[in-house]
Amino acid sequence: MALENLISIHFTAQELQALDAALVTIAGVLQGKAINLTPAQRQQYGSIAEQNKLLVNKAKQLMQHYPQHVPSFLDLEEFGKDYEARQQIEGRLQLLKSLLEQFSDTKILLDHDNYFTALSFYRNLKYLSGENVPGTTVLYHEMRQFFTNGTKPQKVQEPSNNTPATGKDGTAPG
């Protein structure tokens, strides 16, 4: 059974340089502004749900229209800065999440293709070594080392015909 190549892409050196430059630019802009929470802090602070975003939006609107009702201990200027920065980050975060998902999904397919090609090569070496084809036994033993702990190579699983390898938007990756 022939293997199905799920994805075939290639990045030029210029494309990789452009990606790297963009990432360096992003990292440079965020330096000194972005925070890195510990897992415990992430759990402690969590994230606000959509309903709570509506609460924040309504509070901002009402505080602007009725400043006389804002308690003196609240720093409206700081609230405004935090609110604006959050608005600025949210859309960009969604774009970055989408890009991260595309990178991750593409890598999954590339890993799949590479792994099952390597397994087919290993199985062929095993067969050739068993047939005493000159020079294949040493190659087979080089590959066999990855299966010495009792694991066996997985059977090649072809994707079903009814689930093509497409992105979430229905387009082929790459």
The ranges of the chain with pLDDT < 70 are: 1-2, 150-174
pLDDT, residue 150, reads 63
**Residue 49: strand, helix, or coil:** coil
Of 148, 145, 151, 157, the residue nearest 120 (C-alpha): 157
pLDDT, residue 172, reads 41
pLDDT, residue 158, reads 53
Q: Count other Cβ atoms within 10 Å, centred on residue 69.
A: 8
Phi/psi-derived region of residue 154, left when phi > 0, alpha when psi is between -120 and 50, beta in every other case = beta
Q: What ranges in 31-160 are assigned the alpha helix state H? A: 39-45, 50-65, 76-130, 136-144
What's the CA gap between 23 and 26, in Å, rounded?
5
Of 148, 141, 140, 135, the residue nearest 121 (C-alpha): 140
pLDDT, residue 162, reads 43
pLDDT, residue 148, reads 79
pLDDT, residue 165, reads 44
